[in-house]
Amino acid sequence: NQPQQRTQEYSLCADYSHSWEKWHLQTGAKGNLYITSDGKAFAAIDPSVCLSYVTSDFGKLSFVYGWQHQYLFQTGFSSMGLPTEFWFSCGKNSPPQYARSLSLTYDTELFDGDYSLSVGLYHKKLFHQVEYNGNMFDFLRTSYNLDELLLKGRGENYGINVMLDKRTGRLTGWVSYALGRA
């Protein structure tokens, strides 16, 4: 019988945008305060910056960097094909998850705007990741303790996304391909 978790989250955001000639800069920060049911508080600032180069004949090239904190975790039985995930909050035994991400995206229009092409590369470093290492029958034990069955560690994701979008004519739609590694 796991105790019920009640938490509070407060956020304050600020951003700034500036354009000059063919460049556009958007930067910001999000301040977070997260208070758990046992009174533990976590505070963080998540900065972000996006720098874009835009021309009518070249398209748009964007570079994005940012941090993101996550205070609620989702995990479950990875060995089953059933929807068996459950949620829990960070706390004294599980610090907040966070990620640093970096992406480079190129967008352009083709054939007088009838089509658009988008290609994106990304890389993300993950910290304090949590995965459930138990099985469905662990709940039946009288000494069940969730914290003993959680694996904690780091992760890394990277990959490429490509999308071709047909915008005009009787048939519209898109074709997309993503290749990633986690």
- Closest to 88 measured CA to CA, from 19, 170, 41, 147: 147
Q: Work out the widest C-alpha separation in the chain, in whole angstroms.
A: 67
Q: 12-32, pLDDT tens digit by residue?
A: 999 999 999 999 999 999 999
Q: 161-178, pLDDT tens digit by residue?
A: 999 999 999 999 999 999
pLDDT, mean of residues 123-127: 96
**pTM, entire model:** 0.79
pLDDT, mean of residues 135-152: 66
Q: 35-60, pLDDT tens digit by residue?
A: 988 889 999 999 999 999 998 888 99
Judge whether residue 131 has pLDDT over 90.
no
- Closest to 88 measured CA to CA, from 37, 140, 122, 23: 37
Is 139 in a helix, a strand, or coil? helix
- Closest to 130 measured CA to CA, from 147, 117, 108, 114: 147
The pLDDT value recorded for residue 49 is: 98
The pLDDT value recorded for residue 138 is: 61
The pLDDT value recorded for residue 77 is: 61
